Chains A and B, each alone.
Chain A
Amino acid sequence: MVEGAEKKQKKDKAKLPKHLELRRDYVTCGDKLNYNVHTFTAANVFGAMGVDNSWDLEQFKEDFQIVVNKLDKEVMEFDMIGVDPAIANALRRILIAEVPTMAIEHVFVINNTSIIQDEVLAHRLGLVPLLLPPHLFDLKVAEEAPSEKNTVVFKLDITCRRKADGSMDNDKVTSGMLEWLPGGSELPDETACRFAAGQAHLFADPGAGPKPRAVHDDILLAKLRPGQTIQLEAHATKGSGKEHAKWSPVATAWYRLQPVVHLLKDVPADSDVGRELMATCPGLFVADKGGMTQATNARGHEMVLEKLRRLLEQERFSSAVAYRRKKDHFIFTIESSGVLPPQELLAQALEILRDKAQNLMEKL
Chain B
Amino acid sequence: MDSEATDFFAATFSIEEEDHTLANSLRFFLNKNPHVAFCGYSMPHPSEELVNLRVQTTGQITAMQAVKAACEDVKQVCSHMRSSLAAAVAQYQQEEQAREQKKR
Q: Does B31 contact A361, Cβ atoms closer than 8 Å?
A: no
Interface residues of B, dominant DSSP: helix
Q: Does A55 contact B29, Cβ atoms closer than 8 Å?
A: yes
A-B interface contact total, Cβ < 8 Å:
119
Closest approach, in angstroms, between the C-beta of A230 and any C-beta of chain B?
A: 37
Q: Does B89 contact A343, Cβ atoms closer than 8 Å?
A: yes
- Is B78 interfacial (CB 8 A cutoff)? yes
What CA separation (Å) do A125 and B56 show in the bound complex? Answer: 51
Q: A68-B92, A78-B88, A361-B68 are contacts. A54–B82 as well, Cβ < 8 Å?
A: no
Closest approach, in angstroms, between the C-beta of B32 and any C-beta of chain A?
A: 4
Closest approach, in angstroms, between the C-beta of B73 and any C-beta of chain A?
A: 6
- Is A356 interfacial (CB 8 A cutoff)? yes
Q: A90-B21, A360-B22, A361-B68 are contacts. A347–B85 as well, Cβ < 8 Å?
A: yes
Residues of B within 8 A of A64 (CB): 80-81, 84
Q: Does A84 contact B28, Cβ atoms closer than 8 Å?
A: yes
Q: Does A86 contact B25, Cβ atoms closer than 8 Å?
A: yes
Residues of B within 8 A of A353 (CB): 21-22, 25, 74, 78
Which residues of A, 34-75, contact B by the 8 Å Cβ criterion?
A: 41-44, 52-55, 57, 60-61, 64-68, 71
Interface size class of A (residues with CB under 8 A): 35 or more
Q: Does B21 contact A354, Cβ atoms closer than 8 Å?
A: no
- A–B Cβ pairs within 8 angstroms, 26 of them: A41-B31, A41-B32, A43-B34, A44-B34, A54-B33, A66-B84, A66-B85, A68-B88, A71-B92, A86-B24, A86-B27, A86-B28, A87-B25, A89-B24, A90-B21, A93-B20, A94-B21, A347-B82, A354-B78, A354-B79, A357-B78, A358-B71, A358-B75, A360-B67, A361-B68, A364-B71
B interface residues (Cβ-Cβ under 8 A, vs A): 1, 13, 15, 18-22, 24-29, 31-34, 36, 64, 67-68, 71-82, 84-89, 91-93, 96
